[in-house]
Amino acid sequence: MRLSRYFLPVMKESPADAQIISHKLMLRAGLVRQTAAGIYAWLPLGTRVLARIAQIVREEQDKSGAIELIMPTVQSAELWKQSGRYDDYGLEMLRIKDRHDREMLYGPTAEEVITTIFRDAARSYRDLPRTLYNIQWKFRDEVRPRFGVMRGREFLMKDAYSFDLDEAGARHSYNRMFVAYLNTFARMGLRAIPMQADTGPIGGDLSHEFIVLAPTGESEVFYHSNWEKPAALSHVDFDDVAGLQAIVGGYTADYAATDEKRDEAREAEAGDQLRQSRGVEVGHIFYFGTKYSGAMGLKIQGQDGAEIVPHMGSYGIGVSRLMAAIIEASHDEKGIIWPDAVAPYAVGLINMRADDEACAKAADDLYAQLQAAGFDVLYDDRDERGGAKFATMDLIGVPWQIVIGPKGLEKGVVELKRRATGERDELAPADAIAKVRG
């Protein structure tokens, strides 16, 4: 994409009402613009990052065996009355009426909808286990929306829902998602700590929040220092019940809990290895048994002919919130440092002298070569000062920058810069492409 034809309204200064770094940088880098309190338009650059985050989430859900569908944003209040949550949810629910005076709501979550869909389709034990997910916009009418998309009212969420014959099967589905979440966040360059958490209005007796440590996080968290060490997962067989349980057991052996679920005994055991911080919640998983299936009449026929009420769990990832969490974890004084996996463009190509015919031709040729090699390229072909072009590329965080100027052309080289480290090399154009490819 040529920057001269793109829509990228960057800002030199942060708006006064932006309080945390991710909010400041998302506005300055032209990722989002606020249209109402807690509601944001996603501009072209932000849309690209959002799509890349969602795709990683989707791929890891698919690997775990979950099946994608799309559920509506507007839901019938009648479904929530069946589950008993309509009056319990509180003022965060945006309640509306249609032209026929029927009570509706803008969905904050979708347990009722998915339970109804599955209830009307599943007949016997052969239809279980199943885990269904969608990536859809949600709305929660926060009393005080703040911190940009970190605590907005409208947000993009991946929500999955599992259906199993019994508690043992449901806990295996829970473990599948637990491990899928670890893989998801690791692919984005995030160290997300699974912490024992309160179940809140979702309900149930087993829940973990996945927390990315950040000074501006909304949660106060407590954890063993072992969580500060790097860890990586090897290949996972999601059908291996014992193997998956062993992985989850290993990850939960070290203490980690949100403020609501602190355990004084385990904290005493940790001793001087106990750490306290703040964090950003990027995912939340729940096992809640038959809370919704029982209330909404979901029954299937078991192998012996008897009726069974399936056990359920739900699993959320804040897709739009993840963008802010990544920025909080990966930035410097110049701007965003996107991990390669979620960057809007892989390469930023800078022509230092757009008014120079030789530079323009060399940059155009390299732009075509990079595209032919399969790279997403943002080509700054504007007639602007070099300093402004460098500042823009650093601000928006493109992982690789290739700079073409008259002096380099005389030597037959371009300058290749790695945004994350600041490392610079002078290379022949073909060698620069090879290094970007890795």
Q: What is the pLDDT of residues 121-144, one digit of tens each?
A: 999 999 999 999 999 999 999 888
**Distance between CA atoms of 352 and 405, rounded to whole angstroms?**
5
Q: Is the pLDDT of residue 201 over 70?
A: no
pTM of the model: 0.94
- Calculate what percentage of the chain has a pLDDT beyond 90: 84
Q: Which residues pair with 283 in a beta bridge?
A: 210, 317
Burial of 296 (0-12, 13-18, 19+ CB in 10 A): middle
pLDDT at residue 216, rounded to an integer: 73
Q: Dig out the tokens for 319 from the structure.
A: 């897709």
- How far lies 153's CA from each of 67, 93, 285, in Å? 27, 10, 20
Cβ neighbours around 364 below 10 Å, total: 16
* pLDDT of residue 116 exceeding 80: yes
- Please state, rounded to an integer, the average pLDDT across all residues of the chain: 93
- Residue 88 — very low, low, confident or very high, per pLDDT cuts 50/70/90? confident
Half-sphere exposure of 250 (CA within 13 A, CB side): 11
Asked if 120 contacts 156 with a C-beta cutoff of 8 angstroms, the reply is no
What pLDDT score was predicted for residue 419?
Answer: 97
Phi first, then psi: give them for residue 275, nearest 5 degrees.
-120, 150
Contact at 8 Å (CB) between 315 and 162?
Answer: yes
Which of these ranges, 202-206, 286-290, 307-311, has the smallest mean pLDDT? 202-206
Q: What strands lie across the sheet with 94-97, from one edge to the other? A: 74-76, 103-106, 94-97
pLDDT of residue 376: 97
pLDDT tens column, 59-82? 999 999 999 999 999 999 999 999
pLDDT at position 232 over 70: no
pLDDT at 259: 87
At 203 the pLDDT is 53
List the single range of 65-79, 89-103, 131-145, 198-212 with lowest mean pLDDT: 198-212
pLDDT tens per residue across span 299-323: 999 999 999 999 999 999 999 999 9
Strands (DSSP E) contained in 57-205 are 67-68, 74-76, 94-97, 103-106, 130-139, 154-164, 192-196
Output 308 or 203, whichever has higher pLDDT: 308
Are the CB atoms for 112 and 82 separated by under 8 Å? yes
Average pLDDT rounded to a whole number, residues 390-412 = 97
Question: How does residue 199 score in pLDDT terms, banded at 50, 70 and 90?
Answer: low
pLDDT at residue 275 in the model: 94
Evaluate whether 278 touches 221 at the Cβ level (below 8 Å): yes
pLDDT digits 0-9 by tens, 2-57: 999 999 999 999 888 888 999 999 999 999 999 999 999 999 999 999 999 999 99
How far apart are alpha carbons 32 and 330 in whole angstroms?
Answer: 18
Q: What is the pLDDT of residue 381?
A: 95
| Spatial contact of 187 and 341, defined as CB atoms under 8 Å apart | yes
The arithmetic mean of pLDDT across residues 182-203, rounded, is 82
Backbone angles phi, psi at 125, to 5 degrees: -60, -20
What pLDDT is attached to residue 42? 98
Contact criterion met (CB below 8 Å) for 254 and 224: yes
Q: Is the pLDDT of residue 197 over 80?
A: no
**Which of the residue ranges 40-54, 106-120, 256-270 would you say has the lowest mean pLDDT?**
256-270
Buried b (16+ CB within 10 A) or exposed e, 367-395: beebeeeebebbbbbbebeeeebbbbbbb
Read off φ and ψ for residue 345, nearest 5 degrees: -135, 145
Q: How far apart (Å, rounded) are the C-alpha atoms in residues 197 and 206?
A: 8
pLDDT band, residue 406 (cuts 50/70/90): very high
Amino acid letter for position 410? E
Structure confidence at residue 106 as a pLDDT band (50, 70, 90): very high
Contacts of 401 (CB under 8 A, 6+ apart): 347, 348, 349, 350, 390, 393, 415, 416, 417, 419
State the pLDDT at residue 271: 94
The C-alpha atoms of residue 405 and residue 172 are separated, in whole angstroms, by 58
